[in-house]
Amino acid sequence: MNIHLQRDLEHLQRRILALASSVEQAVGRAIRALFERDAELARSLMEGEAAIDLEETLIEEECLKILALHQPVAGDLRRVAAILKINTDLERMADLASNIAERVSELNQGPPVPIPSGFQVMADLTNSMVGDSLDAFVKLDLELAKRVCRLDDEVDRHNREIIAQVIKYMKKSAENVEPGLNLFSVSRQLERIADHATNIAEDVVYLISGEIIRHHPEALEAGNVK
């Protein structure tokens, strides 16, 4: 590999890792703001999204610059294309974290509501998926990428449990409908953040093995992806 290309790719990789850390932090804080009814924290999260958006745009520019300057082929080209996609996923995740903060802000304006404890587990799981999917990308670790894909089922299970609890709560009283809808949205948005981490992990599996498991979860179970 061209030494300049290698240096530029490493730089790009560091930027994307830093962006992923910002997203993890935003998710963690949004859930903390939910449990601690911290209005200030929720507000600062909504404002912080702009910095992540800007970074996404700059990373995309850097990808295009690398494509134009080094005209990478084969594995290097796939790597830059993967970063372009991961970048978009991370920006969407930051967007979702900011949506969670919005829901939390609305919840905090009303009287306290019972927060299903599953939210903490789900947020921790989601964040480990975000970190691991990026780790799998940097280290080209197929096993780790496949583990992230499998974890998504667990997040979905927590999401379903939380939603069942929220529905019960909403049915108790008409006053519970609006806070319940906010809790429902938070759960759905967390689940979608985990979906984006799964997208990244699936792209990593494709990058390493050439197997398309995106849209084919059964391939994971059937051992088709070695």
Tokens of 133: 């999917």
**Taking the complex as a whole, how short is the minimal distance between the CB of residue 77 and a copy of itself, in angstroms?**
5
- If the CB atoms of residues 38 and 161 are measured against a copy of itself, the closer one turns out to be 161
Site for a copy of itself in 109-138 (CB under 8 A): none
SS3 for 168?
Answer: helix
List the one residue from 10, 35, 171, 224 that touches a copy of itself (CB under 8 A).
Answer: 171
Calpha distance 5→7 (Å, rounded): 5
Q: Does 172 bind a copy of itself (CB under 8 A)?
A: yes
**Taking the complex as a whole, how short is the minimal distance between the CB of residue 38 and a copy of itself, in angstroms?**
25
SS3 for 131?
Answer: helix
Q: Are 112 and 165 in contact (CB under 8 A)?
A: no
Q: Are 19 and 90 in contact (CB under 8 A)?
A: yes
Site for a copy of itself in 25-64 (CB under 8 A): 50, 53-54, 57, 60, 63-64
- If the CB atoms of residues 128 and 185 are measured against a copy of itself, the closer one turns out to be 185
Q: Which stretch binds a copy of itself (CB under 8 A): 5-13, 105-113, 123-131, 165-173?
A: 165-173
SS3 for 38?
Answer: coil
Q: Are 115 and 45 in contact (CB under 8 A)?
A: no
Q: Does 160 bind a copy of itself (CB under 8 A)?
A: no
Q: Which stretch binds a copy of itself (CB under 8 A): 6-14, 24-32, 134-142, 162-170?
A: 162-170
DSSP state of 213: -
Close Cβ partners of 164 (under 8 Å, ≥ 6 residues apart): none
DSSP state of 140: T
Q: Are 149 and 220 in contact (CB under 8 A)?
A: yes
Q: Which stretch binds a copy of itself (CB under 8 A): 38-46, 84-92, 117-125, 147-155?
A: 84-92
**Taking the complex as a whole, how short is the minimal distance between the CB of residue 116 and a copy of itself, in angstroms?**
15
Residue 217 — φ and ψ, nearest 5°? -60, -25
Q: Which stretch binds a copy of itself (CB under 8 A): 24-32, 118-126, 144-152, 176-184?
A: 176-184
Q: Is the dihedral of CA 194, 80, 75, 136 positive or negative?
A: negative
Binding site for a copy of itself (CB under 8 A): 50, 53-54, 57, 60, 63-64, 67-68, 71, 73-74, 77-78, 81, 84-85, 88, 163, 167, 170-172, 174, 177-178, 180-181, 184-185, 188, 212, 214-215
